[in-house]
């Protein structure tokens, strides 16, 4: 697929996703507006506002439900530790509430046994932008809930037939949805360790675009719901505002 064809394809992918994207964007805007109002109210009542950045990484256990009749895929939990990186901007309104946003690079995907002899592994690297509200002890244990929009950038597929492997790599592939919105909840401890559950709101795979290069195997998933549990850590890298006062460089 040449560059022009791929660009046209990406545009065609986004067109049917417009209702989903509009809902997701509207939710994000509403959340940001609500958080801004909360921030203004909180800062007028307290001088304990903190603003800081944090670097993150995590271990991901993903799974899902794939329907692809006449096949009956058997999903296998997928574990991955590479490469998951993130930079977050945290704003703590006071001691008990705050929010964060940022940018993340993540490796997510599914593994399925299609029959007794064929196994398929499908993953993408995504770029994501989260928006989450935090409640609890901002200097200790707290919980967060939010949404994230992820964009698929690099696809990789491995097909095993009787333990013989074939691989496929594509940029901006048409085998997965380009836009992957999700909702998540996490519990974070004082030292920055956290556990997160994330649920993707659209199918991971696209219908009619799967290729396995296995004779007489018709793999056409009509449903591919994905979710994961991750264990990670967030290390504070820079304080920009502490207790309402700007931090000056030494």
pLDDT tens for 172-211 read: 999 999 999 999 999 999 999 999 999 999 999 999 999 9
Q: Cis omega before residue 166 (within 30°)? A: no
Q: What are φ and ψ of residue 88, in 5° steps?
A: -120, 145
Q: Using 50, 70 and 90 to split pLDDT, how confident is the model at 6? A: very low
Q: Using 50, 70 and 90 to split pLDDT, how confident is the model at 49? A: confident
User: What pTM was computed for the model?
Assistant: 0.79
Q: What is the average pLDDT value for the chain, to the nearest integer?
A: 86
Q: Using 50, 70 and 90 to split pLDDT, how confident is the model at 242? A: confident
Percent of the chain surpassing pLDDT 70: 78
Is the Cα torsion angle 130, 135, 136, 139 positive or negative in sign?
A: positive
Rounded CA separation 72/114 (Å): 7
């Amino acid at each position: 697929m040449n560059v022009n064809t791929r660009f046209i394809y990406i545009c065609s992918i986004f067109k049917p996703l417009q209702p989903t994207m509009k809902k997701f964007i509207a939710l994000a805007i509403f959340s940001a507006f609500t958080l801004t109002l909360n921030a203004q109210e909180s800062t007028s009542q307290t001088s304990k506002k903190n603003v800081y950045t944090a670097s993150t990484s995590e271990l991901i256990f993903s799974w899902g439900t794939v329907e692809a009749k006449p096949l009956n895929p058997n999903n296998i939990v997928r574990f991955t530790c590479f490469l998951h990186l993130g930079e977050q901007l945290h704003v703590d309104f006071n001691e008990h509430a705050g929010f964060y946003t940022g940018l993340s690079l993540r490796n997510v995907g599914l593994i399925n046994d299609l029959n007794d002899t064929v196994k398929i592994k499908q993953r993408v690297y995504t770029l994501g932008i989260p928006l989450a509200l935090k409640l609890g002890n901002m200097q200790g244990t707290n919980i967060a809930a939010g949404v994230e929009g992820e964009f698929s950038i690099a696809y990789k597929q491995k097909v095993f037939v009787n333990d013989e492997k074939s691989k496929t790599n594509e940029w901006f592939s048409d085998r997965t949805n380009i836009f992957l919105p999700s909702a998540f909840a996490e519990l974070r401890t004082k030292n920055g360790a956290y556990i997160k559950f994330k649920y993707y709101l659209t199918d991971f795979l696209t219908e009619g675009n799967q290729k396995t290069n296995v004779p007489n195997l018709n793999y056409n998933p009509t449903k591919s719901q994905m979710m994961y549990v991750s264990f990670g850590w967030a290390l504070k890298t820079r304080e920009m505002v502490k207790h309402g006062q700007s931090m000056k460089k030494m």
